[in-house]
Amino acid sequence: MLRVGLTGGIGSGKSTVARALADLGAVVVDADAVAREVVEPGMPALSAIRDRFGDTVFGADGALDRPALGRIVFGDPEALADLEGITHPAIWRRTADLLAAAPDDAILVHDMPLIVEKDMGADYHLVVVVGVEEDERRARLVRDRGMSEEDAQARIDAQADDAARRAAADVWVDNNGTPGQLDVEVRRLWAERLEPYNENLLHGIRARRPDALTLSEPREEWATEAARLVARIARALGPRAVTVEHIGSTSVPGLPAKDVIDIQVGVSSLADTDAADFVDVLARTGFPRVGDVAHDNAKDGAEWPKRFHGSADPGRVAHVHVREVGSAGYVWARAFRDWLRADDAAREEYAVLKMELLAQGLSTSDYADAKEPWFDSVHERVMAHSAHSPG
């Protein structure tokens, strides 16, 4: 089951995207609908709200006056915390029931406004953010929901800004255009990423790049993309992972690279990673095991064992290298990254080598092998740098 977190600022059109995904076949769990359900008349949370906030947040019919309550809590952090303390336990119990009821092969979309604010991105395979310029969102709130300019801006200011949303977004859905343009973008997302990703998850298939070698210019996004993957893997493995970190060429600012994110997972014992629960939890998180065993090309004549997993996400190819903490391969991966980050001349030397090999028209597998002599030649420099580095 592919778990998608769908979010966006108030007035962004997130609910429109949720409806479109439901029409395409997604199972949508609407956090706002659940929040309304748990404060319906007769529900325990409603009585607790009356005790805390009084009759002024209730209508004549005894139902909760949500706009009146909103005006109180969105300008008062203490009041908001009190409200969340009442409603959140009930919301999460009901949400858990709805999530558990979804079919195993479903694409499950959790329509959740506060994914960014609550730092929940690691709970999903993908976070989809619906983005609209702030001025347009404010105008929509005034026009479509009857808010004053002041209330609309207060609601916007109470949420994360677009910089935080972009850092959390695996997919950014631009809703500044027409409804037709939005529909096309959502359908493309469904067909090109969500459906293939779900199929890969169900069958334990990793996404791969074409074997023809291409190199990308350095991208600032690699660091934030890696941070999201690191968070998901760390959340899934818990204490079984001693370290989870970004390695490889995309972890080195300014270095051209294949558009592949490399993640190293450090474990106490490599033998523990062959346990079914370790393999299964990574597969369910979107990183199926590739082969039974794997090895790095050693620099000291010995075998450097590891376990290898690949990302099932067709929109973000990633390699996960699981190595024992303190092993030669684990130490080398970190030391090589840190050397390239610190040494401008070494980074340029490696970049020149990459471009020379690219010009030869190599496949990606031949490219990896062709770099090995250079790795061997710089081994002592890498380890000397590591020995003199703090920590």
Contact indicator for 290, 206 with CB cutoff of 8 Å: yes
Alpha-carbon torsion angle 209, 215, 220, 223, nearest 10: 50
Contact indicator for 13, 145 with CB cutoff of 8 Å: no
* Helices 179-189 & 14-24 angle (0-180, nearest 10): 50
Low-confidence ranges of the chain (pLDDT < 50): none
CA angle 26, 198, 295 (to 5 degrees): 160
Q: How far is it, in rounded angstroms, from Cα 71 to Cα 77? A: 12
Q: Name the CATH superfamily, with its identifier, for domain 2-203.
A: P-loop containing nucleotide triphosphate hydrolases (3.40.50.300)
Q: How is residue 44 written in tokens?
A: 């325990």
pLDDT at 130: 95
Residue ranges of the annotated binding site are: 11-16
Strands 294-296 and 304-310: antiparallel
pLDDT at 107: 98
By C-alpha distance, which of 19, 48, 47 is closest to 33? 19
Strands 2-8 and 126-131: parallel
DSSP helix/strand/coil, 1: coil
In the chain, ranges of CATH 3.30.460.10 domains = 221-387
Q: Give me the DSSP letters along 40-109.
A: STT-HHHHHHHHHH-GGGB-TTS-B-HHHHHHHHTT-HHHHHHHHHHHHHHHHHHHHHHHHHS-TT-EEE
Residue ranges of the annotated binding site for ATP are: 11-16
Place of tokens 């290898």: 308
Question: In sequence order, what are the beta bridge partners of 322?
Answer: 265, 307
pLDDT at 391: 58
Place of tokens 């010009």: 359
Q: Which residues contact 303 (CB under 8 A, 6 or more apart)?
A: 295
Question: In sequence order, what are the beta bridge partners of 4?
Answer: 109, 126
pLDDT at 294: 82
Amino acid sitting at position 243: T
Contact indicator for 91, 35 with CB cutoff of 8 Å: yes
* CA neighbours closer than 13 Å in the CB half-sphere of residue 180: 0
Contact indicator for 362, 369 with CB cutoff of 8 Å: no
Strand arrangement, sheet containing 126-131: 27-30, 107-111, 2-8, 126-131, 171-174
Contact indicator for 170, 128 with CB cutoff of 8 Å: yes
Amino acid sitting at position 307: R
The CATH number that domain 221-387 falls under is 3.30.460.10
